[in-house]
Amino acid sequence: EPEVTQTPSHQVTQMGQEVILHCVPISNHLYFYWYRQILGQKVEFLVSFYNNEISEKSEIFDDQFSVERPDGSNFTLKIRSTKLEDSAMYFCASSTGEGEKLFFGSGTQLSVL
């Protein structure tokens, strides 16, 4: 069964460093998303992406965040200068269409020290 793949599963970084989280969405999906979940809290929307453009972003997704689809398969989330409060599980998700059900990757646990 097709699945969303995320790497790495764990990332430890120092405050102020840049990190890039990697995702390979399901191959025939056209809409891509990043969510995050701080330990013990809700799953929060960060950004949605379609046709090489951001469709919508949340207040969390400030200038420190960016997304890119560098080739036909990868979808990345970059945090330019990490803060302690960026520590969370980051989930990538994809769907076949707008308003359709999301399928999630297994997540990247980001720890900022």
Residues at the contact surface with another protein, assessed by CB under 8 A = 33, 35, 41-45, 48, 50, 55-56, 58, 91, 98-107
Q: Which residues pair with 88 in a beta bridge?
A: 110
77-93-101 Cα angle (round to 5)? 150
Q: Which residue has the tokens 């056209």?
A: 30
The nearer residue to another protein, 10 or 83, going by C-beta atoms, is 10
Asked whether the CA dihedral 106, 12, 27, 96 is positive or negative, the reply is: positive
Shortest reach from residue 81's CB to another protein, in Å: 25
Q: Nearest approach, Cβ of 33 to another protein (angstroms)?
A: 7
Residue 82's closest CA among 16, 13, 11? Answer: 16
Minimum CB distance to another protein smaller for 68 or for 100:
100
For residue 49, the minimal CB distance to another protein (Å) is 9
Q: How far is the CB of 79 from another protein (least distance, A)?
A: 19
Q: Residue 46 in 3-state DSSP?
A: strand
Residue placing its CB nearer to another protein in the complex, 79 or 90: 90
